[in-house]
Amino acid sequence: MWTLLLLATLAQAPALAPPDPDSDEALEPEPPAVVPPLPVASLPPSTQELFERLKRRVAQVRIIERRSGSRSSIGSAFFVDAEGRAVTNYHVISSIVQHPEDYTAELVLEGQEANAIPVRVRDVDVVHDLAVIQQDAPVKDWFELADKDTAQGTRLYAMGNPHDLGTTIVEGTYNGLVQDALYDKVHFSGAINPGMSGGPTVTGDGRVVGINVATLGNQLGFLVPVAHARALLTRARSAAPEQTTSLLAVVATQLMDNQQRITERLLSTPVPTQSLGDYRVPGRWRPFLKCWGDTPHDADNPYTVTSYQCSSEEDIFLSGEQRTGVVAYDHAFVSSDTLGALRFSALYSATFASDAGGVDATQDDVTNFRCQTGFVKVNGLTVRTALCLRAYKRMPGLYDLSLRAATLNAQTAGVQTSLDLAGFSADNARALARRYLEALAWTK
């Protein structure tokens, strides 16, 4: 339509006559266009106005150690209703969940540092790193949670309290959900810094589309999708005023449900295999696993090691000392053209990692690994194995698994492999380890 209107307008316009080369008008050059100078860089008025309108809805969260009465850590939170409920990250208030007898929390509003407001934790979503906290007094100003995702490329504004410097606002870009991730997160191109965790990221009209959660620096940040905050807030509003269930028990239930979902996803399809030397080994089991490989070159070594590794590259924060929700494995094809069978066997045995690995945790969190070692037959291969489990001390039914295995069928070559699972039931961990071993095969 617009094209047709334009053509009709041009058809009715009088034809322009070419300039007369003998006229004075043709000899005089046209004056150059005047280009206005670029304005001095400053905070765009829209951002400034947005900040002034929203800053009183954002607060600093302070975790207080009871014995000393001093701050243990800080983060950010934002109000979401008139009853004084606010959303923050689980990792901001995790000390209270893990040790409620030792820690408490308070909110500090912009410009009111001397008037800290006590808050209590109402509910948590440990898998998505969220928590709802609440103060007793009602509030007059709060954020609206967006009811749908925004479009990729949308300009967003992250707010929080970076490095205890006061409430700030940072511009960035919404880049959509991270693809093939084990846990939902939004890629945000903006400078999220420590202390901004738990703060809101909003659209230009002030609606929350994500919650600040992590950064890799260089304008590479991550947000929790707002849908998970909406679900948690709905649950927190429906809970009794005085929740009797321990938050640690809530966390344990959520982790148990999460490991069941991961197990079902992994067991729903056959394990794809990857060629490694003369063997087939478990490859990229599911899209949420990231895999890579390498062969270091060292002319002085009488043997070569080709590695292949896969990992979920994400985990669930339980405390500063413990992470969980991990799936990771690696393989090493060891071979030699110069060592004889006896010397290679000694080397191969020495490099077999029979000691359990596992993700970071302390003795307060988990028991020691208990291991079963032996030999099993897999697709005609004789495989030496060490399968180890350790229990979560305060979350019954959850375990970390560490499996180490080595093929023993060749004189001067072999594959050593390991599987680490964090936060699984014993039955699910063993089922995954069994499926994993069944993917080993010799190609000769």
Lowest mean pLDDT among 8-22, 111-125, 373-387: 8-22
Domain ranges of the chain: 43-244, 253-442
Query: Does 405 score more than 70 pLDDT?
Result: yes
Residue 417 scores a pLDDT above 70: yes
> pLDDT > 70: what percent of the chain?
88
CATH 3.20.20.240 fits 43-244, yes or no: no
- Write the CATH number of the domain with boundaries 253-442: 3.40.1000
Mean pLDDT of all residues belonging to the chain = 88
What would the mean pLDDT of 423-439 be, rounded to a whole number?
98
In this prediction, residue 14 carries a pLDDT of 45
* pTM for this model (two decimals): 0.85
pLDDT of residue 359: 77
Note the pLDDT of residue 28. Answer: 57
- Reduce the secondary structure of the chain to three states and give it as a string: CHHHHHHHHHHHCCCCCCCCCCCHHHHCCCCCCCCCCCCCCCCCHHHHHHHHHHHHHEEEEEEEECCCCEEEEEEEEEECCCCCEEEECHHHHHHHHHCCCCEEEEEEECCCCCCCEEEEEEEEECCCCEEEEECCCCCCCCCEECCCCCCCCCEEEEEECHHHCCCEEEEEEEEEECCCCCCCCEEEECCCCCCCCCCEEECCCCEEEEEEEEEEECCEEEEEEHHHHHHHHHHHHHCCCCCCCCHHHHHHHHHHHHHHHHHHHHHCCCCCEEEECCEEEECCCCCCCEEEEECCCCCCCCCEEEEEEEECCCCEEEECCEEECEEEEEEEEEECCCCCHHHHHHHHHHHCCCCCCCCCCCCCCECCCEEEEEEEEECCEEEEEEEEEEEECCCCCCEEEEEEEEECCCCCEEEEEEEEEEEECHHHHHHHHHHHHCCCEECC
pLDDT digits (tens, 9 = 90+) for 294-325: 988 777 788 888 999 999 989 999 999 999 99
Question: Per-residue pLDDT tens for 15-30?
Answer: 444 555 455 544 555 6
